[in-house]
Amino acid sequence: MGGQSMKHVLIAGAGIVGVSSAIWLQRAGCRVTIVDRTGPASGTSHGNAGVLAAGAVVPVTVPGLMRKAPSMLFTPSSPLFLRWSYLPKLLPFLAKYMSYANDKHVDHYAKSMSSLLHDSVDQHHALAKGTGAEGFVTEEDYCFGYQTHAAFEADGYGWSKRQDQNVPYEVVSGTEYAKYDPLYDGQFETVVRCKSHGRISDPGAYVKALADHFVQQGGELIISNITDVQMDGDHIAALVTDDGPMSADTVLLAMGPWSKKVAHKLGIKVPFESERGYHIELMNPSQMPRAPMMVASGKFVITPMQGRIRAAGVIEFGGLDAPASRAPLELLRTQVANLLPEVEYDDVIEWMGHRPAPADSLPLIGANDTSGKSYSAFGHQHVGLTSGPKTGRLIADLITQKKPNIDLAPFEPTKYHSKSGQL
């Protein structure tokens, strides 16, 4: 390993991407420090749907979105929400975001993301091996439930794009699926069972177990708020934290939606917003579903987890600072009550978090410039948990000067490069 064995890497962010990067860098012989404002899995890495969605190769921005979005915003049962007071700040991003709602970009996204996601279950197994977190990873179908077969046929564009990327799936009747999982008897006319997928039974506990292993192996985890960066010309000299400046040979930005400010200061002018996501959990349910289910009509996922059922989904644009809105949570409560009328439970837990969303929906994975002093690994939108281990491995390869085994051009931060340095 030579001189690489003592390279010190400072990682900003302790979600699944930051912790995965830390473990792979540690295994490559680097000295690694993670700094995070609240600790491992305190954000989206805790609150996601828990699905290893290897077939999530179709973005939200599909053709026709521009036509549908206005009516969705004014339909109470729609999974799209907007805090109207935030609209003036959102408009520049929204214009860029909608510009990608075309077939050419969907194909580009699908091909790019397929290379990152297709082996996600194997990547999680490889990351978790020997860490004590192995038991959280299971292999099972990820299902899509349609109330009518016509609704499935209306979704044909997305399934054709998945088919183009060799995503394996099976279409069955709702009656046939109910033989496998009686909990959904009578709820769906058509169910799509995506194969070669997986599930994390407790995402927050999983990431914390990985972080504990990282520390046990000699890694350093510091809980401190990152407030700014000190620059040396165009490069990061140090992260400014509540506990003073922190520096290293290499800095990795993996703070999810909180990465934007630092990235822009580095000249990486990515058009970027927070997608506010919500979940509710039914605690100690009387019945448990057998596999994750995307309820197509409501665009939310029902996932069995340890001691609870989680219903996660909904998109709200409203920035990083506003408190949770009631409407998305009430919508989830109503939809789950209609879907699982016979399930009894002790309590309902509510949560809101932030998904990091670049306008083109593609994450940033790679060097911020040619110096090798800073890298980015953020912007994974709905697939941070799915792609975290592979992203971490790719970052470790780049930092230790190994050639990654996929084309990273679609994810390169430098495609946004600007030398202005203005926030």
Domains and CATH numbers, the chain: 2-47+205-270+361-416 (3.50.50.60), 62-102+138-198+272-357 (3.30.9.10)
Per the prediction, the chain carries an average pLDDT of 93
CA distance 19 to 223: 14
Q: How far apart are the first and last CA of the chain?
A: 38
Q: Quick one: pLDDT at residue 358?
A: 96
* pLDDT bucket at 3, cuts 50 / 70 / 90: very low
CA distance 76 to 199: 30
pLDDT, mean of residues 41-60? 90
In terms of phi and psi (left: phi > 0; alpha: psi -120 to 50; beta: otherwise), the region of 267 is: left
CA distance 137 to 125: 7
Q: Residue 401: is its pLDDT beyond 90?
A: yes
Q: Residue 76: is its pLDDT beyond 90?
A: no
Q: Residue 421: is its pLDDT beyond 50?
A: no
Q: Residue 422: is its pLDDT beyond 70?
A: no
pLDDT, mean of residues 163-188? 97
pLDDT, mean of residues 351-355? 91
**Residue from 304, 300, 232, 301 nearest 266 by CA:** 232
Q: Residue 69: is its pLDDT beyond 80?
A: no
% residues pLDDT > 70 (the chain): 97
pLDDT in tens, 138-164: 999 999 999 999 999 999 999 999 999
Tell how far CA 222 is from the center of its chain. 23
Q: For tokens 């009550």, what's the residue?
A: 337
Q: Quick one: pLDDT at residue 361?
A: 96
Three-state SS for 199? strand
